[in-house]
Amino acid sequence: MSETTVYLVTGSNRGLGLGLVTRILDKHEHAFVYAGARDPDNAPSLQNLQVKYPDRMSVVKCVSADVEGNTALAREIEKRHGRLDTVIANAGTICDTTGDASNISVALLEEHFRVNVIGTIVLFQAVHGLLKKSISPRFVPIGSGVGCLDGNSTKYLAGGLAYVAFPLAPGAIDTDMLRSSVAADTTGYLEKLYGKNTSVPTVEAVSSSLINIIDKSTRVNDGGKLIRVDGTQIPW
């Protein structure tokens, strides 16, 4: 009998996070997924998955940058499984950063940094002891091409920066987060890139590609690199 592979996916109540959890459960018969959400009781899509996979997942409370909460979650996982094999740090936020430096909200920037940067470090510190107990540990932050000094149009968008293990940059995905960003952009630039008349990858397609990349990843080949959804590397 194959040993269970234990996953933790944060920010999994919708969008890419939900797609990743769904793909893992569909693809890996022996996977157990801790699906992290800020409010597990108000995550109907995850609750529906829980009904479908009652013995293979657990919907858990996980709030980005919450030191006490992340530590408590790690203790809960340790009691149940003793380790984590793969952690996908997907929780993040995108603020309305369409203004220029003269009028952008400092409070919004601070919140953006707290959730997307500090939140990843807090999570890693909470779970690294559990990852060390795995024979094949993976810590995969979901980042953005904005996190490097290369690229053109992606610099216009705000995204999550991550510096641990190998971050993945999924690019634009057809989610409510992207649609809200397009709607908030008064310049019309994002509408040209990702509006109604453009082709944007689906959550299902991107989730499948990312899980394939994670499954094949090694520390030697992928450690410290920023990887695109197609498997190529973004210079940074």
Residue 33 in any domain: the answer is: yes
Residue 187 in any domain: the answer is: no
What's the pLDDT tens digit per position in 180-221? Answer: 666 666 677 666 666 676 677 788 888 888 898 899 888 878
160 pLDDT higher than 80:
no
Half-sphere exposure of 175 (CA within 13 A, CB side): 21
The rounded distance, in Å, linking the Cα atoms of 21 and 10 is 9
- Mean of the per-residue pLDDT values of the chain: 82
* CATH classification at residue 81: 3.40.50.720
- Specify the pTM: 0.79
Count other C-beta atoms under 10 Å from residue 134's C-beta.
16
How far from 230 is each of 9, 23, 36, 197, 217, CA to CA, in Å? 21, 17, 26, 23, 13
Question: What is the predicted pLDDT for the residue at 197?
Answer: 62
Residue 182 in any domain: the answer is: no
81 pLDDT higher than 90:
yes
CA nearest neighbour of 202 among 72, 61, 22: 22
For 226, the domain range is 5-170+203-231
Question: What is the predicted pLDDT for the residue at 166?
Answer: 52
Cβ-proximal residues to 93 (8 Å cutoff; 6+ apart), any chain: 64, 111, 112, 115, 116
Amino acid at 48: N
What's the pLDDT tens digit per position in 131-146? Answer: 999 999 999 998 766 5
What's the pLDDT tens digit per position in 37-66? Answer: 999 999 999 999 999 999 999 999 999 999
Number of compact structural domains in the chain: 1
Residue 56 in any domain: the answer is: yes
Residue 149 in any domain: the answer is: yes
Pairing mode, strands 31-37 and 5-9: parallel
pLDDT band at 234 (very low <50, low <70, confident <90, very high): confident
157 pLDDT higher than 80:
no
Residue 43 in any domain: the answer is: yes
Question: What is the predicted pLDDT for the residue at 212?
Answer: 87
Question: What is the predicted pLDDT for the residue at 152?
Answer: 45
